[in-house]
Amino acid sequence: MSEQRIVRTRFAPSPTGALHIGGVRTALFNWLYARHAGGKFILRIEDTDQLRSTDESTRGILDSMSWLGLNWDEGPLFQTERAGIYRDAVRKLIDEGKAYRCACPPEELERKRKKALAERRKPKYDGTCRHRNIGPNPNTVVRFRCPDRGTTAFEDLVKGRISFENDELDDLVIERSDGFPTYNFAVVVDDALMGITHVIRGDDHVNNTPRQILLYKALGHDVPAFGHVPMILGSDKARLSKRHGATSVTAYRDMGYLPEALVNYLVRLGWSHGDQEIFSLDDLIRLFTLEAVGKSAAVFNPDKLLWLNQHYIKGAAPDRLARELAPFLEDLGITNPDPDFLARVAADLQTRSKTLVEMAESARFYFNEIRDYDLQLAEKYFDSTGAIYIQSVREALPGLGEYKKEGIENLLRKIAEENGTKLKNVVQPIRVALTGKTVSPGIDEVMVTLGKEGVMRRLDNALEFIRSG
C-alpha cells in the first residue's frame, strides 16, 4: 500500500496592492483544506513583477493574513530569492530539447497576432524559432515546446473533468528577456519543489492549468490535484471590483469589521453546510470540504456581511471589544482610555452597533463631558419641567444606597411618580444632560458606566447651562 502524502496547500499572492477579498477567500479555502486534513499551509509571495511589487504591499498581505487568523506553517517564501532555481529549471528544459530560445521581435509578434484575429484564427505563436537553435542572447526569450498533438486533461476537484487539445495551446514564454521567469513557469517550479499536493485557486486560472500540467511532466515532477473555485461577483453580476465598494481586507478592517465576521462571510461565498450561517474557525476546520464548494459564481452582499458583523459584535467579550475599539477612538482624538472603563462602554454599546466605527462614534459622549448643548434639544428638554427632573435626580443621587441599574431605575420611577408623569418624560432630559443626544443605551446602563460622581458632574453642567440660558 502506497504511503499517503501529507496535504500541502499554498496561497501565493502578488504584492502589487492591497489584498483583495477574492484572494482572501482563496487563501481561506486553502487554509481550511490543509487544516481539515491535518496538513500544511504555505505562504509564498510572488514578487517577480519588479515594477509593481512593493514592500508595503507585502507587509499589508502579511498583516491581513495575521489579522484574519490565517496562520501559515512555512514562509513567507519570496520568488525573487529563488531566481537561480528558475534559471536552472529553464536550462534543464533547453538541454533536453523541451524548450528553445525565441528571437521574434515583439512588434512582429503583435503583427501576427492581429492578422490571426482578423482571420478569425487563434492568435497563438506560429513556431518561427522552434527549430532555429538560437543561442543565449540579451534580446531572446525562452519558450516551452508544447506538444502539438494529444490531449491534456485533469479531474478538477470542484468542476469535474476538464480537457484541452494540445494543438490549441501555445509555446508559452517561460523566461523573459530580462532573465526572470513568467508566472506559469515559476508557479510550477515552486509548487513542485515545495511539495504542494493541492492547488486551490480561482477559476480564472483554469486555462493556465493544462500548460502547467505539461510543464510539471516536462520537468519530471508529480502533478498536484487542482480545484478551481468560482469567482466573486458584484450585485450587477460583474466581477467584483472597486466600483462595487470596498474590496480589500484592510478596507473592511478600517471600516470596523471583526475578522471572524469577514472569515465567516467569505467562506459562505461559494461553500455551504446545509442552512447553517454562523461558523467559528473550529467549525469550519471540522466541516470544510471542496465537495461542498459550488460550481456557480457567488454574489457579494454587503448587507449580509454587515449583519454578520453585528452578530459577532453582540457576542464578543467586552474586554476584547475594548481592545478592538481603542484605535477607532484614537482616530476621534480619544487616547489612552482606561481599559476597564472602555470595556464597560463597549458592553453598553455592543448590542446597538453594527461596526466598530459606529461604536466609536456612539461612545464619544462617555469620554467628553457636554457643556454646549444642541440648542434645539435644549429648547425641547431643558424647559422648566425638564430642569425640575434633572434637579430632582441630582439631589437624590448622593443618598442613593445601591448605585446599580435596579437602584437607578427605581429612583427614576419614583421621581416620575412624584411628579405625576411618565418615566420617559423624566428619562429624556436626563439622557440629553448626560449624553447630549436623545438616543443612547439604556439610561440606567449609561449612569452605571459613567459612575455616580461622573453623572452628578454632568447633571451640574446641564443645570448650569439651563441657568445661563
121 three-state secondary structure? coil
Please give the grid coordinates belonging to residue 257: 469589521
- β-pairing, 74-78 vs 40-45, is parallel
Helix spans in 242-372 (H): 249-254, 259-267, 281-287, 302-315, 318-331, 339-349, 356-367
The type of residue at 329 is L
Burial class of residue 161 (count of CB atoms within 10 Å of its CB; 0-12, 13-18, 19+) = exposed
Alpha helices in 134-247 (DSSP H): 183-193, 209-219
Write down the catalytic residue from 242, 314, 422, 424: 242
Give yes or no: 217 in active site: no
Query: Phi then psi for 236, rounded to 5 degrees?
Result: -90, 10
DSSP states along 159-185 = TEEEEEEGGGS---EEE-TTSPBPHHH
Instruction: State the Cα torsion 123-129-134-139 to the nearest 10°.
Output: -30
Q: How many helices and strands (H and E) does the chain possess?
A: 19, 12
d(CA 430, CA 439): 11
CA nearest to 4, candidates 41, 44, 38, 42: 38
Q: What is the DSSP letter of 242?
A: G
| List of long-range contacts for 440-443, beta carbons under 8 Å, 24+ apart | 440/362, 440/365, 441/348, 441/349, 441/352, 442/405, 443/408, 443/412
Q: Among 265, 253, 261, 435, which residue's Cα sits nearest to residue 357?
A: 253
Instruction: Name the residues annotated as catalytic.
Output: 242
